[in-house]
Amino acid sequence: MHFDAFDRYHETNSFVHRLDPRIKVAVTVAFILSNALLPDGAWIAFGLSWMLLLFANIFSNLGIAFTLKRSFVALPFALVAITVLFSIPGNPLASFHFLLWDLTISDTGFLRFVSILIRSWLSVQMAILLVATARFPDIIHALGHLRVPSILTTIIAFLYRYLFVLGDEVFRLMRAREARSAAAGRRSGRSVVWRANVAGHMAGQLFLRSYERSDRVYNAMLARGYAGHLETINPHELRRRDYITAALALLAILFLQLAGRL
Amino acid sequence: MTNVLQVHDLHFSYHDGRPALRGVSFAMCAGEKVALVGPNGAGKSTLMLHLNGILPDRPRDFVHGRGEVSVEEKRLTRDNLPVIRALVGLVFQNPDDQLFSPTVFEDVAFGPLHMGLPMKEVEARVESALEAVRMSGFRDRLSHHLSVGEKKRIAIATVLSMKPQILVLDEPSAGLDPRGRRTLINLLRELPITMLVSTHDMKLVQELFPRTIVMDEGQIVADGQTRDILENEELLTAHGLEKP
């Protein structure tokens, strides 16, 4: 009975799976950076960027639409950018009255909004592909090699490790509640307010338990000689294939940056 | 006498395909106190979780298994789950898995409150349940700061307050000091209720339960009078148990 709903790794054998995780992390970061740097309305460059993503999908043996299907979870976050529709001066496209405000959509605002949407959509897909093709400990290890401060990688590693422990704890709390969620006659379950109250208490319990457990875990780690950093046992080795892939990917990114600026 | 609990040909496998129950059948009469023994991994806890419909994701068709559980002649299905849960009081092995409210009172009151009983009745039930486990003075204490023995007794009170027909306890004496264990034994002896108790504590079995069921590898390998089973050394050794 283990909670593994968060693990997004997809086990297959493919070219991308076999690449060194450092290369995958570096290319993903470069790709995301490149998307962020492309100017508004660089449609050709966005298209090339998308093609690069599709190639990555194909070489990872997960199907060409793999990341597309999973990318929609991140779409609601793009709503944060909705204010740019109204806040950038330009030629008005449409205006309407909303509650207390008169809102006007400008053409430059609209252009920027669509561009932000495309940028984030492409970037999210590459990140999805990264966690689908590299095991989490390998990603952490790669981040360490890429000079991310060890305090950050350690925090991320622990967060990931204890997400599952916490998930199990939540699962047990809910099972205990379920075991006593009985009925006598028709009126059972009580009011929404009461149930919300119980759920609130359960969240509090979860916090207390995690807090106390983290203390015990830390003591157990100290008892075994923990001195501030985690050791890893799988050495990564950069081969010719890795260098060539990295070089080609970075060249492609450079090219689409140029295409976006011409 | 009618059977309070009837289990017929119960099969179950976990998500990883590991079979945990492979055709379990038995019945219990009203007022009977039965011990369930067997090595770790024999399927005891899995069986107990089935008795109030916790494990099967969809009890209507027992997705990862098949078989039948009936309580008071009512067959366990998805539709009557809440009714069955009012009849079968399940006490988990680890009291931390059982207690989820900040105070003892709220935890013991959860069952009756969920059943929709009026506040006065709930109060009365909490009082009598705490009295039954001799923890009357603890109603306003914080559950997670009690000792293991105290938590165990509170865990039992949380289901007693629902006035179940059957009490199902998973290794109640595990991790208790001798005094805590003695208090628990006296408590179990005095409770006038049908009881199925899984345990590794063979002395407890000898002292408390007239009938014993032995499980191993997902099956019942012996079911009979405790006296006879504890005499059968061959059987005990074969299933990793010890004569007390």
Whether A180 sits inside 8 A of B159 (CB atoms) is: yes
Across the interface, of A180, A205, A212, the residue whose CB is closest to B114 is A180
ipTM for the complex?
Answer: 0.72
For residues A86 and A109, the answer to whether their CB atoms sit within 8 Å is yes
- pLDDT surpasses 70 at A227: no
Mean pLDDT value of segment A123-141: 87
Per-domain residue ranges of chain A: 15-135+236-261
Q: Which CATH class is domain B3-238?
A: alpha beta
Whether A202 sits inside 8 A of B92 (CB atoms) is: no
Mean pLDDT value of segment A222-226: 72
Predicted confidence at residue B62, as pLDDT, reads 45
Contacts of A182 in chain B (CB under 8 A): 82-83, 85-86, 111, 114-115, 162
Calpha distance A125→A213 (Å, rounded): 35
Residue bearing tokens 């940028």: A119
Would you list which residues of chain A are within 8 Å, Cβ to Cβ, of chain B? 1, 172-173, 175-190, 194, 198, 201-202, 204-205, 208-209, 212
* % of chain B with per-residue pLDDT over 70: 94
Q: What is the pLDDT of residues B71-118, one digit of tens each?
A: 988 888 877 888 888 899 999 888 888 888 888 998 899 888 888 888
- Hey, what amino acid is at A195? R
For residues A71 and A125, the answer to whether their CB atoms sit within 8 Å is yes
Residues 6+ apart with CB under 8 A from A213: A165
Mean pLDDT value of segment B140-167: 90
- pLDDT surpasses 90 at B221: yes
Q: What is the pLDDT of residues A37-81, one digit of tens each?
A: 998 888 999 999 999 999 998 888 888 888 888 888 777 887 888
Calpha distance B223→B221 (Å, rounded): 7
Write out the two tokens for B166: 């059957």
Across the interface, of A180, A202, A205, the residue whose CB is closest to B111 is A180
- pLDDT surpasses 90 at B128: yes
Whether B97 sits inside 8 A of A205 (CB atoms) is: no
- pLDDT surpasses 80 at B41: yes
Across the interface, of B52, B82, B158, the residue whose CB is closest to A183 is B82
Predicted confidence at residue A165, as pLDDT, reads 77
Mean pLDDT over each residue of chain A, to the nearest integer: 83
Predicted confidence at residue B59, as pLDDT, reads 43
Q: What is the pLDDT of residues A79-100, one digit of tens each?
A: 888 888 888 887 888 777 777 7
In terms of C-beta density within 10 A (0-12 exposed, 13-18 middle, 19 or more buried), how is residue A4 classed? exposed
Across the interface, of B52, B86, B158, the residue whose CB is closest to A184 is B86
Contacts of B165 in chain A (CB under 8 A): none
- pLDDT surpasses 60 at A2: no
- pLDDT surpasses 60 at B61: no
Mean pLDDT value of segment A15-27: 88
- pLDDT surpasses 60 at A218: yes
For residues A202 and B114, the answer to whether their CB atoms sit within 8 Å is no
* % of chain B with per-residue pLDDT over 90: 51
CB pairs under 8 A between A and B: 78
Mean pLDDT value of segment B124-153: 90
Calpha distance B106→A88 (Å, rounded): 55
Contacts of A185 in chain B (CB under 8 A): 116
Predicted confidence at residue B199, as pLDDT, reads 93
Calpha distance B191→B187 (Å, rounded): 6
Q: Where are the alpha helices (DSSP H) in chain B?
A: 44-51, 81-87, 95-98, 104-114, 119-132, 148-160, 178-190, 202-208, 226-231, 233-238
Closest A-chain CA to B99: A176
Whether B114 sits inside 8 A of A175 (CB atoms) is: no
Predicted confidence at residue B197, as pLDDT, reads 95
